[in-house]
Structure 1
Amino acid sequence: MLGTESNMAEESSGAIRSVERAAALIQAIADAGKSGSRLTDLALATGLSKTTVHRLLGTLTKLGWVELDESRSAYVLGLPLVGIGMAASDRHGFTSLAAPHLNRLAELTSDTVYLTVKTGSQAVCVDRVVGTYPIRAITTQIGERRMLGSCAGSLALLAWAEPDEVDRLLTSIPTTQLSGSALPDPAALPALIQRARTAGFTQAPTTLVPGAEGIGVPIIGGSGTAIAAFSVEAVSPRLSEPRRTHVVEWMKREATVFAQRLQQLDGASNEGTVRKLLQPGTA
């Protein structure tokens, strides 16, 4: 009897490890972006042996969760995962709560508006509304990640983080690179952060669309730090004065109202609130 229980415990532990390893692989492929990641790079990213990575990729490929781009020998996320992500997106409450504010900003500015949240040293776009202005600066897709400090929205998340966390993040940024994502200059970030906190908003050129730039404002939580950010991106002349002042005022107003709404839902109103609202089935 004891032997049977021991075997069951070992099998359960092994199954949990397999799930954790598969999840780490999926995350590593997601981090690699559209270009995907080769088996060797996945082994380095996850710390798993090539044999283990190859075995897990075989299972994930059979499920359709991962696909092999044979032209580049790189693995990319499969369509079933897109469906799973959309199912979660349809059910969580965070973007639903933010939607009226994004739509209003897109209507007021006629430009593309983004909602971004922080995860580690990266910023993730969780929603976007494309404006009606015919010349558009669309730099980020929903679900894409950018390094903190590399664009207006992610810079707002960084600038309004806890001081100790800012120091830690500034140290970690140079060591991490996302596919297709510009790496911010760590030496320039302290001055940009100080300027943003003084002005109450961020302004930065986009690195993916020449001639475009963005403005970002933080959505402040209960502790006074950013739990999310709104940003607007457009061709540079549309974000110069005197129009910039109006755009910043609109963004700050919507960010304040949204922050107040989040605080009504959860008095703490912190990053945990955002994570909870981004989980499936919590709306």
Structure 2
Amino acid sequence: MAFNPERGDGTLTQESAVKTVDRVALILRLLSDAGEQGHRLSDIAEKSGLGKTTAHRLLGALVQVGLAYQDVRTKRYSLGSAAAALGRAASIHHIQSVLRPVLIQLARETGDTVFASIREGLAAVCIAREVGSFPIRTLTLDQGDRRPLGVGAGSLALLAFLPDDEIKMIIDRNRRWLQDYAGFSPEELYKLVARTRETGYALNEGRIVPAMQGIAVPIFGRNGRPVAALSLAAIRDRMGPDRLPDLVKRLREEAKALEGVLEPPFCEEPAAVSSPVGA
């Protein structure tokens, strides 16, 4: 039965539903533009052209589902945690969509397994993987796997090119978590960081799976910080001195082509996400 506004049966026509979505989207954009300072109800009503009653009703619904937040002291509205989660998911999906063709091409060229990772607080997270044609596969990471920053080639590439004080803070806060990974003590990580900076790429010479090796390079954003890492894993025999330079060169070429294209997802800073075992 179609909705009749005069009858008020509580159902929505398609037109009124679209109108409501438009209003909600406008309010979310206003809250996004306001940043941490937020907006008062009167600000939202004025900037959106909505009546205060309508604006208050929509803001209340957004607060209820976590897309908006009201400071009880100032009464100002800001974006909520659910909005931040949606933004981060959209950012990750964008990075995945940009990197997926690159991974497919590299896996096809090399026959090896190629990964893409991003930073999440104190961790590196694998967001994509493509498996090459070589019969012996190196599936050391699944999409969604998390490791402490510095553990593994891609993770090390994300860590090594951060500022020194940030690297120190990350390693200090990950000390307990690093105990789960032999060969990645804080002292050893500092050595790996120095070597990675010197060579320009990260190398994991069987520290996680003895017969497997991995290499990785960072992809830098416009601010000069690592946004993501491209890594490649293979059995040790396929990463000898005759082949390793060519593999590193291909990763660097792809990373350079993507430089400045990607933006980091939200919650990149270590204060935002702690390690699973605490800091």
Fold agreement, TM-score > 0.5: yes
Q: For residue 152 of structure 1, report the CA deviation from its aligned partner.
A: 0.3
C-alpha distance in structure 1 between counterparts of 2:95 and 2:167, whole Å: 25
- Match of 2:186, SS state, is coil
- Match of 1:187, SS state, is helix
Q: Identity rate of aligned residues, in percent?
A: 34
Does structure 1 residue 237 correspond to structure 2 residue 230?
A: no
Distance 1:108 1:273, change over 3 A: farther
C-alpha distance in structure 1 between counterparts of 2:134 and 2:182, whole Å: 26
Report the counterpart of residue 105 of structure 1 in structure 2: 106
Which residues of 2 match residues 1-283 of structure 1 at below 5 A?
A: 92-176=93-177, 184-260=184-260, 262=261, 270-272=263-265
Residue 245 of structure 2 aligns to which amino acid in structure 1?
A: T
- Match of 1:136, SS state, is coil
- Match of 1:113, SS state, is strand
- Per-residue CA shift, 1:132-183, capped at 9, x if unaligned? 11111111110110111110000000001122211111111212369x8667
C-alpha distance in structure 1 between counterparts of 2:263 and 2:94, whole Å: 15
C-alpha distance in structure 1 between counterparts of 2:239 and 2:154, whole Å: 15
| Structure with a larger share of its residues in helix | 1
Distance 1:171 1:149, change over 3 A: same
Q: Which has the larger radius of gyration?
A: 2
Report the counterpart of residue 81 of structure 2 in structure 1: none
Native 8 Å contact 1:157 1:218 kept in 2: yes
Distance 1:15 1:176, change over 3 A: farther
Residue 240 of structure 2 aligns to which amino acid in structure 1?
A: S
C-alpha distance in structure 2 between counterparts of 1:182 and 1:92, whole Å: 33
Native 8 Å contact 1:94 1:274 kept in 2: no
C-alpha distance in structure 1 between counterparts of 2:246 and 2:264, whole Å: 29
TM-score, structure 2 normalization? 0.60
Report the counterpart of residue 65 of structure 1 in structure 2: none
TM-score, structure 1 normalization? 0.59
- Match of 1:133, SS state, is coil
Q: For residue 16 of structure 1, report the CA deviation from its aligned partner.
A: 7.8
- Per-residue CA shift, 1:192-224, capped at 9, x if unaligned? 111111111011134443310100100011222
C-alpha distance in structure 1 between counterparts of 2:222 and 2:99, whole Å: 17
Q: How many residues align?
A: 190
Distance 1:272 1:143, change over 3 A: closer
